[in-house]
Amino acid sequence: MTESVELSSLDLRYEGYRLRDDAREARLMVSITQRGIEDPLEGVDRPPWHILLNGFKRCRSAKKLGIASVPYVSLGPEEATAILNLMRASTDKALGILEQARFLTDLLTVHGLRVTEVADTLGRSKAWVSMRRSLLAEMSPAIQELLFRGAFPVYSYMYTLRTFRRMNGVTQDQLERFMKAVAGQRLSVRDIERLARAYFQGPASLREAIEAGQLSWPLEQMRRVPDDVEGCSEVERALLQDLQLADKYLRRVVTRCHDARLKSEAFQAQAHLLSGGLLNRWDSLRERIQVFHDRCGRTKGHLSVASGGNSPARHQSAIPSESQQRTENHPSAGCDAAHGAEGQTPDRSGAVAPAVQRLPGLDPADARETRGGSEDPGQLSHPDPTGA
């Protein structure tokens, strides 16, 4: 039953459980100015307070507009029941996946409900509940804060950054540093994806540029990288595939060789033999790759940045100032055997399809300096304009 309650009687302890969206909230405030608050706020009664669960955007808009009382309806006699009623009645568009995850975590930890009990009440599977619980568990508090206050798009985190973490061994600390560097910049999903590839797969100079807040330069570099391998021969495509696979398996070996479970005598004997063979070929391999890398870096569309390494002076000099960025004459993009097939992998028919890959093509002068040296996260949901 709908009633009118004083705005000052609302308890906002669950405000941090809902995603902020300033643009949507601004549109909602315009609507409230014209037509008033049409849908009641929802919560649970705990006299003399009304604990708000749904309608935080309407609440904040009412405060800004000087509205003293708002329509309100109770969802249950106590918090756990009210949260379950809210989740059961809400569509996926009313509660996003992260909002669902935070409420579910609260039900399982604070209120002591079991996974089976929650799943049965909501009419969902136990896997649906468990996946959302684990989604928050894999995030640091800083990452959660960036997502819930709307500083970083949930879509980009779910479908770009989590993919890097599963497939490329990116750590939570690396994700956090990247998200803090680009948060609040109002970047498109596509530009965030470009910056993520530059940060996690590119040379150190691109990473340092992003962390320094110089986003326009790495974005310009990444826009020159072709999105497909059109114009490359079959031989070139085959080598691009080999380079991609080599990068993938080298990353895997580097990660797995520290596994403490690798301790049987049979394993160590064979691993010693195989790793020795790799070390015998290492200098030759590095020299050939360096020459190949330098040669490919002389073509159009290459990234004129330093590749890898740990020299702070070299990295700093590779990052142009803002004035240099404005006056730099960028070459047009092109396709070459080393860099024309960014993100490609062959499908069963032999065609090449997009995939995540190392960044191609670097400046030959900078490259010479180095000689010394993945469960489906579920449907993303967006709150309704008249919702929280």
pLDDT recorded at residue 227: 61
- Return the residue matching tokens 């030759």: 284
Distance CA 104, CA 120 (A): 13
Inter-residue contact 118 to 80 (CB < 8 Å): no
Instruction: State the Cα–Cα distance between residues 224 and 221, nearest whole angstrom.
Output: 6
Per-residue pLDDT, 330: 41
pLDDT score of 174: 92
Cα gap 230→198, rounded to integer Å? 22
What's the confidence (pLDDT) of residue 53? 96
Tokens, residue 358: 């190392």
**51-88 burial, b if ≥16 CB within 10 A, otherwise e?**
bbbbbbbbbbbbeeeebeebbbbbbbeebbebbbbbbe
Determine how β-strand 69-74 pairs with β-strand 352-354: unpaired
pLDDT of residue 252: 85
DSSP state of 346: E
Query: What whole-number distance in Å separates Cα of residue 319 and Cα of residue 306?
Result: 9
Per-residue confidence (pLDDT) for residue 32, from 0 to 100: 96
CB 161 within 8 A of CB 175: yes
Q: Supply the DSSP symbol for 125.
A: -
Ramachandran angles phi, psi of 93, nearest 5°: -80, -25
pLDDT along the chain (388 residues), means of 10: 94 95 94 95 94 96 96 94 92 82 95 96 95 92 95 94 81 93 94 93 91 94 73 81 86 86 91 90 90 78 44 41 43 38 40 41 39 40 44
- Taking the complete model, does pTM exceed 0.85, yes or no? no
- Exposure string of 343-377, with b = 16+ CB inside 10 Å and e = fewer, is bbbeeeeeebeebbbbbbbbbeebbeebeeeeeeb
Nearest to 139 by CA among 171, 169, 117: 171
Domains recognised in the chain with CATH numbers? 1-74 (3.90.1530.10)
Q: Residue 329: its pLDDT value, please?
A: 39
